[in-house]
Structure 1
Amino acid sequence: MYYVYILANATNVAIYTGVTRDLVRRVAQHRAHADPASYTARYDITKLVYFEATPSIQSAIAREKQSKSWSRKRKNALVNRRNPGWTDLYPTL
């Protein structure tokens, strides 16, 4: 399985969308600021607010590209459908 995920900062102002095969490992890297110069580290984007599984890397990348083309309002609606409180889902993984 491959995952498309959305992270947010504590105030849900800044968000980041990514793709990974190992969701736990990848989110842990974001949370640890493994790359201090990265967008997620600069804006402290560490809260996993949405993820979905896909069967292939191709479908995950296609979904990531699709969602990155959306307006912020549409991305918010996607998160709100599954996680209306924008709570951190990382502890549930």
Structure 2
Amino acid sequence: MLKPGFVYMMANRRNGPIYIGSTSDLIQRVYQHRNRLIEGFTKTYHCCLLVWFKAYDDIQEARDAERRMKKWNRPWKIKRIENGNPDWRDLWPDIIA
């Protein structure tokens, strides 16, 4: 049986630092980032806005996508965000609704 997963991007403002991660529990992981419970990049750069995410049927697929996306240059990441979220709106309310 496959375990679903997500790839997501966090930022602290439009065109600010961008963090890419993957998880099997998007709500829990974004909550952790928003409340600075995870040491590292998102805590250091205050990346607490969920600006993009994509669901996958398999967590391994999500992890593979994360690894590929981390190699992207910044303009590609920005384009991905702005294709679905041109205002860099925080998507947190959408996932907890």
Task: Give the TM bin, normalised by the shorter chain.
Answer: over 0.9
- Report the count of equivalent residues: 92
1:12 maps to which residue? 15
1:34 counterpart SS class = coil
1:53 counterpart SS class = strand
Alignment of 1:75-90 (within 5 A): 75-90=77-92
Report the Cα distance in structure 2 between the residues aligned to 1:25 and 1:6, rounded to whole angstroms.
14
2:15 counterpart SS class = coil
Report the Cα distance in structure 1 between the residues aligned to 2:76 and 2:24, rounded to whole angstroms.
25
Q: Which runs of 5+ in 1 are unaligned?
A: none
State the 4+ residue runs in structure 1 displaced beyond 3 angstroms: none
1:31 maps to which residue? 34
Q: Which runs of 5+ in 2 are unaligned?
A: none
Report the Cα distance in structure 2 between the residues aligned to 1:50 and 1:10, rounded to whole angstroms.
13
2:93 maps to which residue? 91
TM-score by length of 1: 0.93
**Which AA in structure 2 matches 1:45?**
C
Report the Cα distance in structure 1 between the residues aligned to 2:17 and 2:45, rounded to whole angstroms.
7
